[in-house]
Structure 1
Amino acid sequence: MKNLQIENIVERILVQSGSSVQVVLEDFFPGDRFAGGKYSFGTHTITLYIEEIKEQCLQLFSSLDHFEDYLAVVFAHEIGHAEDRELSELIQQMDVTSHDFTRKGIALKIEENAWDYARKLIPQKLHSFMDTIIHYSLQPYHEALEVSA
């Protein structure tokens, strides 16, 4: 997929959202996590990691046939973080608690908020596709809470 197509998808969703977030496109996430995107609260910037998103799409759907839709869902999720009115308070709560279970619950809430917002940006016809992505995205958070319970 050419960068122009990726930029068009990003621009369309960004305009639709009305968000003022800055967007950066990179190839790979610089850490050891498997991240397709990252929202930086301090700089109000979303970075999308295109090769990571492709790899996630391949792992989940065994092809890149739905890459454009997958990219749109990942980006909508990151905008969900950027536009989350609770995010500042949730980050603050996470910073002050030392209770591991509480921290994991807050992390889950942050992710659920972003997915709730993302759902508004993705066409209804893609919601079952999106639900698959959400399920796999939230699974580690749910498992972490079960282990801690």
Structure 2
Amino acid sequence: MNVKRIINDLLIQSGSKVSVEIDTYFPGGRLIGGKYSMSHHSITMYIEVIKEQCLQLFSSLEYMADYFAVVFAHELGHAEDPELAILAEQLDECRTEMERNKISLKIEENAWDFARELLPEMNYVFMDRIIFHSLLPYHDRLSQTDIA
């Protein structure tokens, strides 16, 4: 898998000027494959975490290149989201957990919408599985606050 080629191709395709760094693991041990920093307009991709995620979801590294591309396209979605600054500000001003959860979900859905548009040729079943598992904690938090 040529990570730099995937990154370069998607940067060109998206027209994004975001800077990209590659690291091994997300600090703190959480299984986060990529992280967008608004303040630095940069994306850090965590290769070993992405491998772990791919293995957990598909029990194989056979799809690692596509999995990486999907996760990177999602992070590009954050970087190129015209609503992100406003949503982040709203997130800071939330008065309720329900509000916070709804805005967090919206931020993630925006990034996934961008990823889908950026990768129209990607197998939709493959991509939907990744998206479903990525959004599951957000939906779970929403349903928990809905009950409370």
| TM-score bracket relative to the smaller structure | over 0.9
- AA aligned to 1:143 is D
**How far 1:125 sits from its partner (Å)?**
4.2
Which secondary structure state, in structure 2, belongs to the residue aligned with residue 38 of structure 1? strand
Of residues 81, 85, 90, the one that matches 1:84 is 81
Distance in 2 of aligned mates of 1:91 and 1:123: 28
Q: In the TM superposition, what whole-angstrom CA distance separates every residue of 1:64-98 from its partner, at most 9, and x where no partner exists? A: 00000000000000000000000000000010112
Correspondence for 1:7: 4
Distance in 2 of aligned mates of 1:107 and 1:148: 13
Of residues 28, 37, 41, the one that matches 1:40 is 37
Is 1:69 the counterpart of 2:66 in the alignment? yes
Correspondence for 1:104: 101
Correspondence for 1:117: 114
Correspondence for 1:129: 126
Which secondary structure state, in structure 1, belongs to the residue aligned with residue 125 of structure 2? helix
Is 1:51 the counterpart of 2:48 in the alignment? yes
The percent of aligned pairs where both chains have the same amino acid is: 55
Compute the TM-score of the two structures, normalised by the length of structure 1. Answer: 0.95
Q: Aligned runs of 1:7-26 on 2, under 5 Å?
A: 7-26=4-23
Distance in 1 of aligned mates of 2:35 and 2:113: 17
Which secondary structure state, in structure 1, belongs to the residue aligned with residue 123 of structure 2? helix
Which deviates more from structure 2 when the two are superposed, residues 29-38 or residues 44-53? 29-38
Q: In the TM superposition, what whole-angstrom CA distance separates every residue of 1:22-47 from its partner, at most 9, and x where no partner exists? A: 00000111123210000000000000
**How far 1:126 sits from its partner (Å)?**
1.8
**How far 1:123 sits from its partner (Å)?**
3.3
**How far 1:124 sits from its partner (Å)?**
2.7
Q: Which runs of 4+ in 1 moved over 4 A?
A: none
